[in-house]
């Protein structure tokens, strides 16, 4: 599976900007892939990129129309069908983050078939995976883990990809969730895989690679989240990381969606190492990423210093606010800098 | 989902006894549910129960024909179809442990529809589960965990059900795998659930119950198995056990199917408590079940004594060889004996 870019971003007539959060994430990280947006009357979201017709997008080189919006119930509204069929007839593939599969709509399915186009449902995984092997693969891997869900694991991995490439590292973001898949054009929505194949799917996402290559694997959930810890553990075993970054949101009091209290950063470090050793005996924590949005700059910097001191001097940063240089420097220090002729910035 | 008993056991023409391992397990644990077996010419398996025609089984009260055999590739051979259709026409439901779904065969599907009969594919789970909540439920729960896959977790839970019921406890085996589902008539093949819903499915399997009621949850995999640990962790969090039994096979050198070395019993106890505390802060180990098949009786008893001493006097037994009285006694000692008017032996 490889979603071809550039993209035309389909927003339908969603009622607010939040419903287009996935589409906005794609624009934020892959502005050059996003030629324009197409909106139906009444649409209240705006990605800040040019409005385009399907014909204009095709003329500009678009390859895929992305449905990166959420709709109440995850279904595809009937009145979106006409434009999706039009896009298929114009030669575009369609990629969707809706729960409902594109192919379950007979008109869309027929249009894809008659035009030989692909339909990507990034929330679903139809590939048959092997079960995990647990054997060591070549190349280096970093996993972002969390004290909870939605604490910046994807953002941190993407920021590290940009930062490491800028420093000359050969590094690739590896998507494990739907927004990440749109951003990288590939990946597996790991929470949608059948339970027996979680670690096997991650082994498939991050295969053997050159010794100097880094896969930066997007984490999911938390080992301490009672709903999703199984996914997080399979992801840890399958990605067999050499290094991991703990992501944290300091204002959160309970785990997302449940009354369970948040673990400490140290608990996450300890359990990640204890469990991660099974498939990588030299796993280590190389940094902490903190969402400091709720604090002013001075308080944010103090908090980061405090967190760094409390964890043996591990680099701590807010990747959004202060960048990831200290995280990249630590990786270079512990594992060596980029190889000669590194693969800088080929997004 | 409730598979209605009594059963007629369909063996097809499988080439050896091993291919009927699931069917044999059902007969071993639910002899009174298994009225007879039906075999095609050339069948090399024999469950040691009467051969019957479909008409005889229906006359004797059979409700479901069970396909508890494995076939090369997990498919349903075409020459089995006629008898399956005949059984549906005679008023039986069909339950199958094959990978291939019964309803994917058009003749079987049509026969089920015209007779209003149910088709159960116990390896698949079509139910939509909620994600796990992690909140404490009423009643008591015991989970069997393992140093590896296939070390007696199902057997131990079933033996405990029988032993606890014989002692007057209100106790139910809760199936999480296909053989267990046939044996209890219900349950969820937890390794076939979508990853996001592992713990949620287990919460559904073992809901709120009376304070004196015990759910004995069949464990799967191992927290130390690189292929399946995610399933094991979701199962631990979802079942929120008050007590767990570690199951172990002392001759095993590496984890099943992979080169990973086996963990020690103590490692399993420690990590199970560490992770299990998330949804049950008072989780504790109440015993060790060891498969001593490879040893003579004297050596087996010495090994069990040695294992018990090495783990603070926890009761250790081989449930097959020496029963589970010491495990039941420990549960009574730690959690109290059966309530007045307990639910003894209502399999």
Strands A64-67 vs A93-96: parallel, antiparallel or unpaired: parallel
Across residues B311-338, what is the average pLDDT? 97
Nearest residue of B to residue A260, measured between CA atoms = B134
Residues of B in contact with A232 (CB under 8 A): 230
C-alpha dist (Å) from residue A57 to A29, A54, A61, A69, A87: 20, 5, 6, 19, 10
Residues of A in contact with B260 (CB under 8 A): 134, 278-279
Asked if the peptide bond before residue A170 counts as cis, ω within 30 degrees of 0, the response is no
Q: Is B179:B150 a contact under the CB 8 Å cutoff? A: no
Residue B343, pLDDT > 70, answer: no
Across residues B129-151, what is the average pLDDT? 96
Residue A178 C-alpha, separation from nearest chain B C-alpha, in angstroms: 14
Per-residue pLDDT of chain A (347 residues; tens, 9 = 90+): 799 999 999 999 999 999 999 999 999 999 999 999 999 999 999 999 999 999 999 999 999 999 999 887 778 999 999 999 999 999 999 999 998 899 999 999 999 999 999 999 998 877 889 999 999 999 999 999 999 999 999 999 999 999 999 999 999 999 999 999 999 999 999 999 999 999 999 999 999 999 999 999 999 999 999 999 999 999 999 999 999 999 999 999 999 999 999 999 999 999 999 999 999 999 999 999 999 999 999 999 999 999 999 999 999 999 999 999 999 999 999 999 998 654 544 43
Residue A221 C-alpha, separation from nearest chain B C-alpha, in angstroms: 10
pLDDT of residue B347: 37
CB contact under 8 A, A195 and B195: yes
Closest partner residue to A234 (CB to CB) among B135, B230, B258 is: B230
Which residues 6+ apart lie within 8 Å of B113 measured at CB? none
- ipTM of the complex, rounded to two decimals: 0.90
Residue B233 C-alpha, separation from nearest chain A C-alpha, in angstroms: 5
CB contact under 8 A, A196 and B192: yes
pLDDT of residue A347: 37
Continuous segment of H or E residues that includes residue A34: strand A34-39
pLDDT per position as a tens digit, B253-281: 999 999 999 999 999 999 999 999 999 99
CA distance B336 to B208: 19
| Adjacent-strand bridge partners of B67 | B10, B96
CB contact under 8 A, B134 and A196: no
pLDDT per position as a tens digit, A196-216: 999 999 999 999 999 999 999
Residue A146 C-alpha, separation from nearest chain B C-alpha, in angstroms: 16
Nearest residue of B to residue A132, measured between CA atoms = B227
CB contact under 8 A, A227 and B134: yes
Residue A340 C-alpha, separation from nearest chain B C-alpha, in angstroms: 35
Nearest residue of B to residue A274, measured between CA atoms = B271
Residue B232 C-alpha, separation from nearest chain A C-alpha, in angstroms: 7
Residue A168 C-alpha, separation from nearest chain B C-alpha, in angstroms: 33
Task: Locate all alpha helices (DSSP H) within chain B, ordered by sequence.
Answer: 21-29, 54-59, 81-89, 106-115, 153-166, 178-184, 198-205, 229-239, 265-276, 297-310, 319-322, 325-335
Asked if the peptide bond before residue B6 counts as cis, ω within 30 degrees of 0, the response is yes
pLDDT of residue B126: 76
Across residues B140-148, what is the average pLDDT? 98
Q: Is A288:A248 a contact under the CB 8 Å cutoff? A: yes
Residues of B in contact with A271 (CB under 8 A): 274-275
Residues of A in contact with B271 (CB under 8 A): 274-275
CB contact under 8 A, B195 and A234: yes
Across residues B236-250, what is the average pLDDT? 97
CB contact under 8 A, B134 and A279: no
CB contact under 8 A, B198 and A194: no
Q: What are phi and psi of B132, to 5 degrees?
A: -60, 145
Nearest residue of B to residue A229, measured between CA atoms = B234
Residue B108, pLDDT > 60, answer: yes
Closest partner residue to B134 (CB to CB) among A232, A260, A275 is: A260
Interface of B with A (CB under 8 A): 131-135, 190-196, 198-200, 223-224, 226-235, 237, 255, 257-260, 271, 274-275, 278-279
| B207-B213-B216 Cα angle (round to 5) | 70
CB contact under 8 A, B278 and A199: no
CA distance A6 to A60: 9
Residues of B in contact with A260 (CB under 8 A): 134, 278-279
Residue B73's pLDDT band (boundaries 50, 70, 90)? confident
pLDDT of residue A127: 82
CA distance A219 to B12: 46
pLDDT per position as a tens digit, A228-266: 999 999 999 999 999 999 999 999 999 999 999 999 999
pTM score of the predicted model: 0.92
Query: Cα dihedral sign for B185, B191, B194, B199?
Result: positive
Query: Cα dihedral sign for B8, B21, B26, B128?
Result: negative
pLDDT per position as a tens digit, B298-324: 999 999 999 999 999 999 999 999 999
CB contact under 8 A, B237 and A223: no
Across residues B58-70, what is the average pLDDT? 96
Residue B344, pLDDT > 60, answer: no
Residues of A in contact with B226 (CB under 8 A): 132-134, 199, 237, 278-279
C-alpha dist (Å) from residue A18 to A7, A22, B198, B241: 20, 9, 29, 39
CA distance B340 to B169: 9
CB contact under 8 A, A132 and B199: no
pLDDT of residue A341: 55
Percentage of residues of chain A with pLDDT beyond 90: 92
Across residues B150-156, what is the average pLDDT? 95
pLDDT per position as a tens digit, B172-188: 999 999 999 999 999 99
Continuous segment of H or E residues that includes residue A142: strand A140-146
CB contact under 8 A, A260 and B278: yes
Question: Which of A145, A113, A100 lies closest to A235, judged by CA?
Answer: A145
Closest partner residue to A195 (CB to CB) among B190, B226, B257 is: B190
CB contact under 8 A, A234 and B275: no
pLDDT per position as a tens digit, B6-60: 999 999 999 999 999 999 999 999 999 999 999 999 999 999 999 999 999 999 9
């Amino acid at each position: 599976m490889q979603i071809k870019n550039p993209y035309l971003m389909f927003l339908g007539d969603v009622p607010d900007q939040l419903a287009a959060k996935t589409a906005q994430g794609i624009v934020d990280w892959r502005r050059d892939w996003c030629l324009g947006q197409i909106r139906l009357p009444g649409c209240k979201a705006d990605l800040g990129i040019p409005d385009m017709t399907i014909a204009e997008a095709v003329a500009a080189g678009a390859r895929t129309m992305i449905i990166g919006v959420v709709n109440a119930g995850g279904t595809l509204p009937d009145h979106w069908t006409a434009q999706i069929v039009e896009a298929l007839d114009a030669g575009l593939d369609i990629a969707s983050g809706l729960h409902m599969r594109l192919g379950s709509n007979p008109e869309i399915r027929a249009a894809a078939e008659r035009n030989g186009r692909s339909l990507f449902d990034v929330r679903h995984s139809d590939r048959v995976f092997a079960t995990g092997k647990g054997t060591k693969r070549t190349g280096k891997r970093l996993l972002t883990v969390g004290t909870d869900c939605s604490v910046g694991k994807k953002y941190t991995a993407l920021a590290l990809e940009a930062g490491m490439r800028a420093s000359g590292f050969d590094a690739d973001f590896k998507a494990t969730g739907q927004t990440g898949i749109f951003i990288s054009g590939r990946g597996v929505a790991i929470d949608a895989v059948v339970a027996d194949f979680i670690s096997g799917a991650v082994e498939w996402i991050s295969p053997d690679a050159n010794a100097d290559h880094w896969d930066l694997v997007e984490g999911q959930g938390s080992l301490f989240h009672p709903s999703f810890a199984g996914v997080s553990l399979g992801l840890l075993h399958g990605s067999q990381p050499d290094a991991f970054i703990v992501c944290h949101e300091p204002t959160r009091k309970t785990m997302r969606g449940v009354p369970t209290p948040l673990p400490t950063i140290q608990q996450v470090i300890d359990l990640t190492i204890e469990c991660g050793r099974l498939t990588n005996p030299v796993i280590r924590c190389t940094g902490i990423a903190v969402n400091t949005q709720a604090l002013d700059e001075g308080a944010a910097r103090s908090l980061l210093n405090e967190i760094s001191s409390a964890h043996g001097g591990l680099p701590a940063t807010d990747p959004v606010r202060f960048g990831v240089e200290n995280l990249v420097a630590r990786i270079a220090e512990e594992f060596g800098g980029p190889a000669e002729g590194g693969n800088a910035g080929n997004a």
